[in-house]
Every structure is written in C-alpha cells, then in structure tokens.
Structure 1
C-alpha cells in the first residue's frame, strides 16, 4: 500500500533497481596555474637578456681605455753572441745539459786508497765488442748503427782483489735497456754465475743486480749490472783464492750509481 508505514515507525527504504548503474560523484577539476606567475617569470628572463645586451652596447660605444705603462719600458736581455773558439756543446745547450753529457771518465769511481791503478779512459768500440760478444762482428755492426755512444772504464788491483768498472752509454735509453736485459738473462746459467743473484738495495731488480759465482776454480768472480738512464754500469770483480763477499760488490755498485 502507498505511504505504508512500518510498525516501528521508520519509513521503508525504496528498493534499488539493479538495471540502473551507480554513478560516481563528480571530482573537482585541478586549479589552473595563475597567469600572474608566468608573466613574472617571463619578465625576469626578458629583463636579464635586455640588460646584458644593453651593457654590451654601452661598452662597445665607449673608447678603449689605455693600459698603464710598464714599470720598466725596455727589458734588458743578453745580446746573442756568435760562436767562437770558446764555444762548447755545453754552453750552447746549457739548459739541457746533464752531467753524463760531459767527460764520462770523471764519473767513474776513483781508485781506492792503497790500490794499484790498472788503467782508465775510453775503450774503443771494436775492443769492447771483442771482450763482450761471442760474435764481435755482429755486435760491431750493431754499434755502427749508433746504438752505443761510448764506453768509459777504470780498473785497479788491491791485494787479492781485482775490480773493473765500465760505464756503457747509449744514444737512447732503449739501447741501455736492451743491453742490460741481454747481459742479465744468461748470468744464472751454469757456465756463468750459476745462480739468480740478488737485487741491489735501493733499486728494483730489473735496474740493478749482483751475481757471485756459485763455483770457482782458483779465481772467484762476481758481476754487477745496473742501469741509470742511458748508461749501464757493468762491474767485474775477482778475488784470488778467497771467497767474495757479496756485500762488497753491492757496496761498490751503489757507490758508482751515486755518481751518475
């Protein structure tokens, strides 16, 4: 019945028609950014650009400002001199001169006190090749290409000890590296030192090494090879009927390296 009231006194809830879909409540559209903010930002950008252009234009129209005068109007420079009889390679290349470019024999260790000097000076390259290589002809051809620059040597005898120091200088550092490597590779063989030797303290093993012969028939021998720049230090040390102290050879090599 129409307008029928339940006994409890509350009105009936009208039935929901399933054919009618639920419609969601409308959402509020986002608020658009105000035009005032955009106008202010654009004005700032245009103002900065206009100010920069105006500054350049004003500066361009101004006359150039003269720089203040130098405290010394004319600098005194040494006058170039023509070569004469006193001109040397050292005076021409003073800024690039190294002590190893001078007299190499002056860098050799002096003969110890009480020792007998056996000789000092430069060794001809042919004599050097004969003393070092099994095939001197091939070595001499290699020298002719300009790899070795010169060889300085000194030697002395003190009691039962005989020592010889050679400074082998190459025209390029690569030549010194190859020579030292080639000489060091065969030293551990049985026909030579017969052991791996020891490194010279203060330098890496590839830059300085000492070998004392493992076997000796009468005369004991030792050798030191070290490299500094384009120079290879080669020390031959012998002692008659006595055991060589490894420390003595190392000390000799270190003193020679300090002079280079």
Structure 2
C-alpha cells in the first residue's frame, strides 16, 4: 500500500506495494500516451495550416472607449466573496490531509502502513503500485502532480481500508478527471474487478467496484472493493480488503462520505 508529500524527496528504501493490494496502471499510461500523440499531431497540422495563411492585420493601438467601467462599483454593490464552505479552492489549498474523512467507529490506524509518512505519500511510492513504475512516475510528474495525502485503517483481524487523495496543480480540473477515467477504464477486465461497477451518487462518472473472490489453494480467500472518483483537482481512491466478503454498502458508504468531505 502507499501515499506522498513531496516530489523531490522519494526515499529509496520505501517499500514496494504488495502486488495484490494495488491496481495496475498500464491502461492509464497507454491512454496518457495516446492523448499526447493526439495533441502533438494536432499541433503540427495547426502550424502547417497557419503558415499558409496571409498575416492578419494588427488592431489599432488607440481605442476611443475603454472596455471596462470608468468607475469602480460602490462598496455596497461589490459581490461578497464565497464563504469557505462553498469555495472549493479554499478547502483544497489547505492541509489536504484534513480533507480525509474521520476514521469510522470500530476502526484503528494501521500501524503497518509504512507507505505513509505523517499522512503523506510520495510520488515514487505511488508509482510503485503500478506495473509500469517508471512510466507512471514520469506520467505523474508531467501531469503536474502536486501532492498525495492518505490514510490506512484496520478493523478486526483481517479488514483493511486505504484512502488516497491525489491532487494536481495544472490550474484545471481535467488532469484529475483524466487520471480517474484511466483507472476506471480497465476495471471491467477479468483480471481486475470483472464488472462495470456502480455509479457513486453525486460524482458524475465516479464508480465503486466489488471484486470476485480470489481463491488460491493454501491461502485464505481474498476479497477486495475499490472506488475511483474525482472532484475538482483531486482524484479519490478508496480500497477495502478482507478475507471475508465485502458488501457494496461497505465501499459505497465510505466513498460517499469522502466525496462529500472534499
């Protein structure tokens, strides 16, 4: 398991993520590469067309009228700023760790979650959770990743939960959305959840998935559920693991609470 706090400080001794507890990111990487090729090709064609056109005349340097009001609005007519409760940027520009939901009753902090450092996850550890580690590390940096906050809890002897909030600083919300779309794109494959999941209420295209049981001779049954949604510049991922079946309600309750908090 795994989350981050700085881009430059990636401890070499950080443990690799267990294979069974992290999603593969090959599909997300291929989507990102395809998008990059599409942008590059479109840019080249655009330059070629523009080079064949005659130059457009420049507008006059002087204008008869200003495009903005000559006088400032009276103080009583200036719109009031949004309260912090309604201003998304005020919430997400603060301590990202505080946007993680409170630990539910009956759960304890996972003392073995050494992928966390004071509630932060490094980009290097995040990338290690994917099959193409080097490619995903490069993808995150090129996508202007900002920081990753996380939490890890345990309940009873076998149930575990992880939450990660991955925030980007590109100035738009499309990067977090693209990351979430890429992660959901392979979930219906047989070697992942094997189903299309269920929509998370109020999330747009966010979904949660319950995997089939992973049964191997000599091992306890392994069950997993995963949720992938985004809001603004933050991609939210929640995972549940257990040796007993996980219900849809278990994962849905957590992701709906987390989405409301962000």
Instruction: Please indicate, yes or no, whether the TM-score normalized by the shorter chain is above 0.5.
Output: yes
Match of 2:184 in 1: 184
Q: 1:214 to 1:147 in 2, by over 3 A?
A: same
Q: 1:190 to 1:96 in 2, by over 3 A?
A: closer
Separation of aligned partners in 2, 1:141 and 1:216: 32
Match of 1:116 in 2: 108
Q: 1:146 to 1:182 in 2, by over 3 A?
A: closer
Choose from 230, 255, 258 the match for 2:257.
Answer: 255
**Structure 1 unaligned spans of 5+:** 1-74, 76-94
The answer to whether the 8 A contact 1:209-1:226 is kept is yes
**Structure 2 unaligned spans of 5+:** 1-74, 76-86, 216-220
User: What's the CA shift for 1:151?
Assistant: 0.6
User: What's the CA shift for 1:248?
Assistant: 1.3
- 1:166 is aligned to 2:158: no
Q: Give the RMSD, CA atoms, in angstroms.
A: 1.9
Match of 2:128 in 1: 130
Q: Of the two, which has the highest radius of gyration?
A: 1
Separation of aligned partners in 1, 2:235 and 2:212: 24
The answer to whether the 8 A contact 2:143-2:175 is kept is no
- Give per-residue Cα distances to partners, 1:220-248, cap 9 Å, x unaligned: 001001110010110011121x2111011
Match of 1:239 in 2: 242
The answer to whether the 8 A contact 1:225-1:233 is kept is yes
The answer to whether the 8 A contact 2:100-2:261 is kept is yes
**What TM-score does the superposition give when structure 1 sets the normalisation length?**
0.59
User: What's the CA shift for 1:140?
Assistant: 1.4
User: What's the CA shift for 1:197?
Assistant: 0.8
Higher relative contact order (CA 8 A, sep 6+): 2
Separation of aligned partners in 2, 1:234 and 1:129: 14
The answer to whether the 8 A contact 1:194-1:215 is kept is no
Choose from 226, 231, 237 the match for 1:228.
Answer: 231
Q: 1:200 to 1:97 in 2, by over 3 A?
A: closer
Q: 1:182 to 1:96 in 2, by over 3 A?
A: closer
Separation of aligned partners in 2, 1:96 and 1:227: 13
- Give per-residue Cα distances to partners, 1:176-214, cap 9 Å, x unaligned: 11110110001110001011111112333x2x1011002
